[in-house]
A and B are shown apart, each in its own frame.
Chain A
Amino acid sequence: MSTEIEAQGVAPGVNVHTHGTRRSYLIGLGYAVILTLASFWASSTDLIYSPGVPILLGVLAIAQMGVHLVFFLHISSAPDQTNNILALAFGIFVVGLLVFGSMIIMANLNHNMMPMDRLMQLQMQR
């Protein structure tokens, strides 16, 4: 283990504990391959109750993103990584707001919109 401890924390991507080993990349590769194959399998199988498949795919994708963050970008909950984790948490918050906010608003607008044929009739009458 490296004994160099930075007074101001470490940069993202630096893993002081497994510094200089290939193990973390290989473990990450193993997990990522399993999760990728699982999601390709889940999208084409009849074995899973079909309305549940999108949720399963979402869970597998988020799990794989976590694997990439931990094993490739070396993000951890160590005290010297507080800054990186806080920035990541804020990023995830904004991403969630953008994606789910847009989807909810657009679904709501679609729901409230007059059906196209009625709209056409209304324009004819004018």
Chain B
Amino acid sequence: MSAAEQALVDGDAVPLSLRGPAPTRVVAGYGFWLFLLSDIIIFAALFAAYAVLSGETAGGPTAADLFDKKHVLIETACLLASSVTCGFGSLAVQSGDRSSTYFWMAITFILGVTFLSLEVSEFSHMLSIGAGPSRSAFLSAFFTLVGTHGLHVTLGLCWLVVMLLQVATLGFQPMVSRRFFCFGLFWHALDIVWIGVFTIVYLGAHL
């Protein structure tokens, strides 16, 4: 690498004031990254509420009574696998490969739906034994935190369907691949939040 190229990599070659606007892809990605960080701050507030309230069971069921580790391990596996297939799908989008985009994104969708249905079955079981969000402060905090994550996954799945329809109708325009790229960031960020959920809520319950 020559000195001039190295200077360009380091960003020293052209003064900041002369570089001109950043490309749309960079601006869109950076803006979405800021959105994701603010979304993670919302989750931080819910985590703080859960950490404070997790002992306040009001004589109702405690975390150790309610949560099943095997169930959570399967949920975690689904979400982690879907994160990886989403990454493969993003690579397919970047190389403009339509059939492998459909293939990987369909697998991502199926894994996401599996995760959601496991979560819904857990929630409905808890409601049926009288451990709903109105039972105690602990359960209110639990349903708010895990429910908000589930809602994000649901919205992500809707977004994925919309993106696949856009690929089908518009093809791989720069606009479409930019949106797909933001979807990938969103999906990976949800997986990061889930690490906090399974560690604090589910594994923390059995300590």
Per a CB cutoff under 8 Å, which of A10, A26, A72, A90 touches B26?
A10
B11 within 8 Å of A (CB atoms)? yes
| C-alpha gap A83/B26 in the complex (Å) | 11
Say yes or no: A9 contacts B11, CB within 8 Å: yes
Identity of the chain B residue whose Cβ is nearest the Cβ of A42 in the assembled complex: B203
27 A-B residue pairs with Cβ-Cβ distance under 8 Å, sorted by A, are A6-B22, A7-B8, A7-B11, A8-B26, A11-B25, A12-B185, A20-B94, A21-B91, A22-B88, A25-B88, A29-B80, A32-B80, A39-B203, A43-B203, A43-B206, A54-B204, A60-B199, A65-B192, A65-B195, A68-B83, A73-B189, A79-B9, A88-B37, A91-B40, A99-B44, A99-B48, A99-B51
Per a CB cutoff under 8 Å, which of A8, A57, A95 touches B19?
A8
Q: Which of A5, A21, A60, A98 has the most CB of B within 10 A?
A: A98
Say yes or no: B204 contacts A57, CB within 8 Å: yes
A-B contact count (CB 8 A): 147
Say yes or no: A72 contacts B191, CB within 8 Å: yes
A-side interface residues, number (CB < 8 Å): 54
Stretch touching chain A among B28-36, B121-129, B165-173: B28-36
| C-alpha gap A103/B200 in the complex (Å) | 14
Say yes or no: A7 contacts B14, CB within 8 Å: yes
Across the interface, which residues of A come within 8 angstroms of B11, CB to CB? 7, 9, 79-80
Say yes or no: A72 contacts B207, CB within 8 Å: no
B181 within 8 Å of A (CB atoms)? yes
Per a CB cutoff under 8 Å, which of B26, B32, B90 touches A6?
B26
Per a CB cutoff under 8 Å, which of A14, A29, A72, A88 touches B188?
A72
Across the interface, which residues of A come within 8 angstroms of B29, CB to CB? 10-14
Say yes or no: A91 contacts B206, CB within 8 Å: no
